[in-house]
Structure 1
């Protein structure tokens, strides 16, 4: 693996950390994943609220992209999320909206969406 970085805007839920890291490392052949965590980050970004959380997420993503050279940012949602307790379909909408908002940050990185199901398997969200 190349010693390069990827970024995940992921839920703080410990159950989704390892599956997301492993999926990103395998799929993109990079060694490190900067993990930016919040409860229900797809909802926070989709709604743009609270603004202080959005700005904090953005600041941390910019460090990952600008200082670590991350060339991919994944926005993650997952089954049984306490921070975004909506069902899968609504969460997928939130992921898509969040991806669009992160793309508006004009980062030098690809932005994708990921869903983690009840088996803790990761799948890419078609945008």
Structure 2
């Protein structure tokens, strides 16, 4: 059972959509792009538990409004030149990411806790769909 990011619309080179994980009862608005190489490509990714990293509050781009700062690495299961893609709160002074999935909730602790619940050497899948 996978996490899904469905890109629903584009505006100002930003891809907006919904990030959901039905098994964990999570559903949030999310954004990808416009910085770096823009939004992440559609396809299948692995989300490994050992890729969940706590970040410093000094890295405000990775923090939510409650100053919970983290980054979850995602690994494409297809050929791409893109690296360092992930899921994280969309914080900081600018709206958007460098190709990651930025969760736009004020409180991202439920996502952090759900990702942390993945077994330590395990992973879950992430499917990215582009409907825009």
Structure with bigger helix share is 1
Q: Which has the higher contact order (CA 8 A, sep 6+)?
A: 2
Structure with bigger strand share is 2
| TM value normalised by structure 1 | 0.27
| TM value normalised by structure 2 | 0.26
